[in-house]
């Protein structure tokens, strides 16, 4: 680390009080993204483990699984169950997986990692919670997704143990 008083210019000293007056943002931090239909959604950033961009080849399809489940993805030794979020929400437009990378929002509950594949990540933004509208078809979404991922995990485990 270097400390030198020459690094601080007169203009920087004049701006310092202005920087101290900056207010904290209002609202809560959300990750904004688009589904294949073009609809824009936002998830609270506090519930997101990370955002990743695996190639389609890195996502391994699961035989006899729901078409909503794109497959699994290994990230740092952890299995992430990747699903098409748009289809989970009842969207008729299927996610285009014929591209270099697929944006995936990874969320975690207990020991299960779930990846929500979306069309495009927009940005993080501070949003006023009271001005947000919850779509009616999202009720119970996470519960349904966890149930599907857990059911397929148990099926996969039983197949492995049978060999």
**What are the sequence ranges of the domains in the chain?**
25-156
66 φ, ψ (degrees, to nearest 5)? -60, 145
Domain spanning 25-156: which CATH class is it, in words? mainly beta
Q: What is the Cα–Cα distance from 142 to 100, expressed in whole angstroms?
A: 27
The DSSP call for residue 60 is: B
pTM of the model: 0.70
**What does the pLDDT read at residue 65?**
86
pLDDT > 70? residue 111:
yes
**What does the pLDDT read at residue 9?**
53
Helix (H) or strand (E) holding 131, with range, is none
115 φ, ψ (degrees, to nearest 5)? -105, 125
Beta bridge partners of 115: 82, 106
**What does the pLDDT read at residue 10?**
55
* Strand, helix or coil for residue 130: helix
**What does the pLDDT read at residue 1?**
36
């Amino acid at each position: 680390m270097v400390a030198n008083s020459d690094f601080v210019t007169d203009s920087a000293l004049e701006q310092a009080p202005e920087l101290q007056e900056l207010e904290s943002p209002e609202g809560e931090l959300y990750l904004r993204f688009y589904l294949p239909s073009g609809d824009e959604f936002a998830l609270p950033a506090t519930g997101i483990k990370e955002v990743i961009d695996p190639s389609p080849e890195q996502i391994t399809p699961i035989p006899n699984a729901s078409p909503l489940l794109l497959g699994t993805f290994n990230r740092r030794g952890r299995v992430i169950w990747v699903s098409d979020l748009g289809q989970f929400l009842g969207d008729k437009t299927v996610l285009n997986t014929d591209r270099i990378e697929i944006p995936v929002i990874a969320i975690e509950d207990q020991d299960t990692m779930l990846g929500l594949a979306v069309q495009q990540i927009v940005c993080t933004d501070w949003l006023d919670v009271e001005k947000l509208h919850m779509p009616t078809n999202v009720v119970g979404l996470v519960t349904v997704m966890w149930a599907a991922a857990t059911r397929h995990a148990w099926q996969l485990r039983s197949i492995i143990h049978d060999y």
